[in-house]
Amino acid sequence: MNWEDLTKAISACNKCSLADNRTNVVIGRGNVGAPVLFVGEGPGANEDAQGQPFVGQAGKLLDMALESTGFEQADYYITNVVKCRPPQNRNPLPTECEACMPYLRAQFKMIRPKIIVCLGSVASTAMIGKEAKITSVRGTWIERGGVLFTGTYHPAALLRDPTKKIIMWKDLKMIWQKLQTLK
């Protein structure tokens, strides 16, 4: 399967009930050959309307944080655990995450990132394991099969609690520094 076929498969998917209310599937944005893969939760209202991840307020904050910590556009690809918007922005259910996970795995196989960054606990528990809450994952590296996993707060959490901003900046700087050693 190539990227185009994968995109077509996701766009036509109705493997879980999140398909019922979506306007657009949200596949991802960024460099398909990037060394860093950021994984969020799932699309919100703006993302559902535009078909692009992290384009609302939280996304603007994330883009700003990435730019100011030194990331270049070519350094990353951004996607979500689920590709369709959960109603009222509730957390995706474990069954929905499981149904959608083969797409994330396929994206991972094609992108071949060296670093995976989980944005928030939904992503970290889906990617790393049930016990991997973001507070324990952030600021650390977990190596699996030659890929480095880490995480930071979900940017929406920063909108609710601006004191977390400095921590996210620190986390992103740590990731950026690691990336420089891998380049």
The residues of the shown chain that bind ligand URA, judged by CB under 6 A, are 40-44, 47, 53-54, 58-59, 80, 156
Partner interacting with residue 44 (select from ligand SF4, ligand URA, none; CB below 5-8 Å by kind): ligand URA
Q: Find the binder of ligand SF4 among 39, 65, 100, 111 (CB under 6 A).
A: 100
Total site size for ligand SF4, rule CB under 6 A: 14
Calpha distance 136→96 (Å, rounded): 24
Calpha distance 105→47 (Å, rounded): 21
Q: Find the binder of ligand SF4 among 5, 14, 45, 161 (CB under 6 A).
A: 14
Calpha distance 105→52 (Å, rounded): 19
Q: Is 82 in the site for ligand SF4 (CB under 6 A)?
A: yes
Q: Find the binder of ligand SF4 among 55, 99, 117, 172 (CB under 6 A).
A: 99
- b/e burial code for range 100-126 (CB count within 10 A of at least 16 → b): beebbebbbeebebebbbbbbbbbbbb
Calpha distance 93→17 (Å, rounded): 11
Q: Which residues bind ligand SF4 (CB under 6 A)?
A: 10, 13-16, 18-19, 25, 82-84, 96, 99-100
